[in-house]
Every structure is written in C-alpha cells, then in structure tokens.
Amino acid sequence: MGALEQGHYMDELEENDVELESDSEPEPELESDKEVKEAVRVLLEGIGEDCEREGLKRTPHRVAKAFREGTRGYNQKARDIVKGALFPEAGLVHINGHTGAACGMVLVNDLDLFSYCESCLLPFAIRCHVSYLPSSNRVVGLSKLSRVSDVFAKRLQNPQKLAKEVCAALDASIKPAGVAVVLQCSHVPFPETFVSSSDWNQVCSSARLGALEEDHAQWNDFLALLKLKGVNGIECSNTLQNWCPSLKNTVNGKNMGNNKSYSSMVSAVVSIIRAIGEDPSRKELVSTPYRYVQWLMRFKTSKTPEFKSILNLNANAEELKKEAIMTNGHGSKICYELSLPFCSQCEHHLIPFYGSVHIGWFGNAERCIDRAHLLALVQFYACKLQVQERMTRQIAESIHAWCDKGVAVVVEANHICMISRGIEKVRSSSATISVLGKFATDPVARASFLQSIPKCTG
C-alpha cells in the first residue's frame, strides 16, 4: 500500500544536510547502558522485529536512556536534597496553637510523578499529595517535597511501598512533627482490557507518621485541606490485588514463541533489572521478567492467536476486509464508526500509546462494515511496534482497499513516552488525520466528519 522510495529519500536528505538518526551530542556510553541496549535487541528480535530497520535502529539506545533516567532514584538520597533547603522560621511564644514552623500544616498537592511498576516494568502515573507539620523552627522549601517524592518514584515500585518510602524519607530528612503522603496511582492499561482512558487501573495508597498518624484531628485537617484543593476519591484502597494487570494472569510459557527465544528474552529482562541497580531475586521482582516478556509478546509482528479466535477468521488484514463486507447497508452517504479504543506501542521507546480511532467512509449497500470488524482492524494495526502517523495511514489505506470512494481516519492518542520520560508534558496529547479519495478533495465532507467526532472534555 504505502511506498517508501528509499533512494530518493536519502538523496533528498543529503541535499538538505539533515542527518538521519544521529545524536546531536554524543554521550559517553555507560556499561549499564550497554547491557540494557543488548537486552533490548534480544527482546526486539524475540518479537520478530528487525533491529536494523530505520525506526528501530536507535530504539535500544532510547530505551536504555529512558530506563537510566526513569530509575535514577537508586542513586539519589532524600537527605542530600533536603539539607540545602531547610529555612529558619519563627515559632510561637505565649500563644497556644499550630502555626508557621510550629506545626502549621503545609500541604503540597497534585504533584504529577511517574514511576515504574515492579510487577511488569511499565510506567504508572502518580498524583502525589504531601503534607508535613514543621517543627524545631524550620520549614523546608516546597519544591523539595516534590523532589524527595520523585527520588522514590524513580525506582521500581508499587503504590503502597512508594507511599511508605516517601513518608519515611521526609520524616528522616525534615524531622517534622508529622508527615502524610497520599498517592493516586494509575497503571497503564493492557491492550485486552482497554476500553477507554478512564479504564486505567486506579489505586490510592497512603502513609503517615508522627502527629499525622497519632492525632486523629490532625489527620482530619489534612483530609479537609485535600478536599478544599479539589482532591477527591482518596478512599485508600491498600489492596494491590487488582493493581497491575499482569498480576491477573498466571505466568506461563504458552503462546510465547519457541522456548529458546523465550528464555533468552527472560534473561534479557533480568539483565535490565540488574543494570538499573535492582536485585532480580527480590521477592516482588522474581516473576517480573516473565510478565514483561508476556506483555511484550502482545506486540509480536505476526498476528496473535487470540486475535484470530476473536474474529473467527484466517486472520490477516486482506481476509479480514473481505469478511467485513456485509450486505445490510446504511442509507447515509457518509458512514461513521467513532471512538474505537486502541492500545499500541511506540516503536521508538517501547512504551505504550493509547486512545481512540474515528473512521468515516463513503458507504453504500455494498460497502458496509460493522463496529466489531473495524475494532478488529484497529487492533490488528495497533498490536505491534508502531508510530501513530503510520497506524493512521495503514487503517485508512486498508479500508480504502475495499471502499475506494473516500476514507477519513482520525487517531487521538496519549503517548506515555511524552509524559513519563524527558519532556514530561502530562497534559499533552496528539491527533493525526488521514483523508483519502473524496474526503481529500471535499473539505465540506471532511468538516462534516470531523464535527461528528465527540469532543474531548478534558
């Protein structure tokens, strides 16, 4: 369908003096990065990918960098962060009360953090709320509450452990009269459970020490302040049973490809865990390599068996599209199928992106397709290493192949790689559009389709 004229492309690049895939600033390579890169190559081959194709060439490098930055907390200490930012503040004399550096409660709410799930190595999002009761005539710089929390977020974690560690570290480094940490955590969904972005697994965890643990009234003040700041839904569910989707399935070797490749993939993940400074034999991490490999195998280049059975077809896109042509027609000229959920994986960072696909086409009695089949088509193109632009084009082109009057496809997505790594743009999202045939030449049809898509309210 699509065509990449490599020769022409390289010429053009040379002309413009634009290098493909070179780093602007070469960094010295760390030993641990080398190990992670090698492991990522094993994983890419294990899911049937060609490490030398353009989009993947530097993926090992990017993944190594992301792991290094994402787990930098192993090399940081809360004490070092806090000690430069303790400021003397006046206490109270002859007045009964809690104020300023004499236990006047301080809350910093809605700190957006990211961590890595120790069960499956995928990122999870954290809305972090921290409170402490200053004592000994000193307060700490507000930003340090965020920085200390981030030290522990940048490790392999689960929500409860993270809350406890942040709380204990703040207690030890600030020595306050009390400290409380509440975390609202959201786990990246797995493709098979993903219906919409509100389906992220949510867990709330908390930890408290000192007066905030012992004095019920102080704890109530904290909860009241949180409510005041618009923080709701913090009924703490300390059970982690349904936290990580990977914990729902027993790990086994079924559908894992040949055993040799499978065991080398597992070893590769073990070496990643070791390279970031963790102990792969720690109880919570023992099964993590199996779970990560199992998750990764969902994005194997060939079609997965589960996918076949859903469709009850000899599943490749060509056959899919024949099956999908149905005889009962729509009356309207432009047909829509909107808000088809998908969960894919960014081939540049091996991190999920997810969202909705909206499809419009010029249909008639002969060219009709039901939602289930379009959903299957979307999942077919989502369940592999992808980029959003390509996925949008592939969906459009495959529909165009059986319905060539006109196709429009809009993909809305949230890229975890945009928010959990480097640039950390937590509110950002993206949209791509493909228009073929009549939709390309008729702006009115295009506008009509775009208007039919439900607006994002976020």
Burial 135-150 (b: 16+ CB within 10 A, else e): beeebbeeebbbbbbb
- Closer to a copy of itself by CB, 258 or 444: give it: 444
Q: Which residue has the tokens 């490809």?
A: 257
* Whole-angstrom distance, CA of residue 114 vs CA of residue 366: 49
Q: How far apart are CA 190 and CA 443, in angstroms?
A: 37
Q: Is 168 in the site for a copy of itself (CB under 8 A)?
A: no
Q: Taking the complex as a whole, how short is the minimal distance between the CB of residue 323 and a copy of itself, in angstroms?
A: 23
User: Under rule CB under 8 A, which residues in 90-129 are in contact with a copy of itself?
Assistant: 90-93, 95-101, 104-112
451 binds a copy of itself (CB under 8 A): yes
Q: How many CA atoms lie within 13 A of 15 on its CB side?
A: 6
Q: Toward a copy of itself, which CB reaches closer, 120 or 139?
A: 139
Angle at 426 between CA 425 and CA 427, to 5 degrees: 95
Quick one: 83 or 308, whose CB is closer to a copy of itself? 83
Rounded to the nearest whole angstrom, what is the least distance from the CB of residue 336 to a copy of itself in the complex? 14
18: which 2 tokens?
């634009």
Q: Which of 228, 286, 365, 372 binds a copy of itself (CB under 8 A)?
A: 228
Question: Does 169 contact a copy of itself by CB under 8 A?
Answer: no
Using CB under 8 A, which of the segments 44-52, 257-265, 371-379, 440-448 binds a copy of itself?
440-448
**Closest distance of CB 263 from a copy of itself, Å:** 32
Q: How far is the CB of 72 from a copy of itself (least distance, A)?
A: 14
Q: Does 20 bind a copy of itself (CB under 8 A)?
A: yes
Judge whether 335 and 403 are in contact, CB under 8 Å.
Answer: no
Q: How far is the CB of 283 from a copy of itself (least distance, A)?
A: 32
CA distance 332 to 273: 55
Q: Does 26 engage in binding with a copy of itself (CB under 8 A)?
A: no
Which range touches a copy of itself (CB under 8 A), out of 159-167, 183-191, 304-312, 417-425?
417-425
Least Å distance, CB 437 to a copy of itself, is: 6
Q: Residue 57 CB, nearest distance to a copy of itself (Å)?
A: 10
Quote the least distance from Cβ 325 to a copy of itself, whole Å. Answer: 19
Site for a copy of itself in 261-320 (CB under 8 A): none
Q: Which of 378, 441, 356 is nearest to 406 (CA)?
A: 441
> What is the distance between the alpha carbons of residues 112 and 150, in angstroms, rounded to a whole number?
9
Coil/strand/helix, residue 304: coil
Q: Which of 4, 27, 260, 279 binds a copy of itself (CB under 8 A)?
A: 4
Q: Does 50 bind a copy of itself (CB under 8 A)?
A: no
Task: With beta carbons less than 8 A apart as the criterion, state whether 158 and 243 touch.
Answer: yes
For residue 288, report the phi and psi dihedrals to the nearest 5 degrees: -55, -45
For 448, residues 6+ apart whose C-beta sits below 8 A from its C-beta are 334
User: If binding is defined by CB under 8 A, does position 440 make contact with a copy of itself?
Assistant: yes
Stretch touching a copy of itself by CB under 8 A, among 159-167, 197-205, 236-244, 415-423: 415-423
193 versus 441: smaller Cβ distance to a copy of itself: 441
Mapping DSSP onto H, E and C, the string for 388-423 reads: HHHHHHHHHHHHHCCCCCEEEEEEEEEEHHHHCCCC
**Does position 348 bind a copy of itself by CB under 8 A?**
yes
> 369, 377, 436, 375: which is closest to 409 by C-alpha?
436
By beta-carbon proximity to a copy of itself, the closer residue of 224 and 326 is 224
Residue 100's alpha-carbon distances to 89, 94, 146, 231, in angstroms, are 7, 15, 20, 23
State the Cα–Cα distance between residues 163 and 109, nearest whole angstrom. 14
* Whole-number CA gyration radius for the chain: 26
Number of residues binding to a copy of itself, judged by CB under 8 A? 117
2 binds a copy of itself (CB under 8 A): yes
456 lies in the binding site for a copy of itself (CB under 8 A): yes
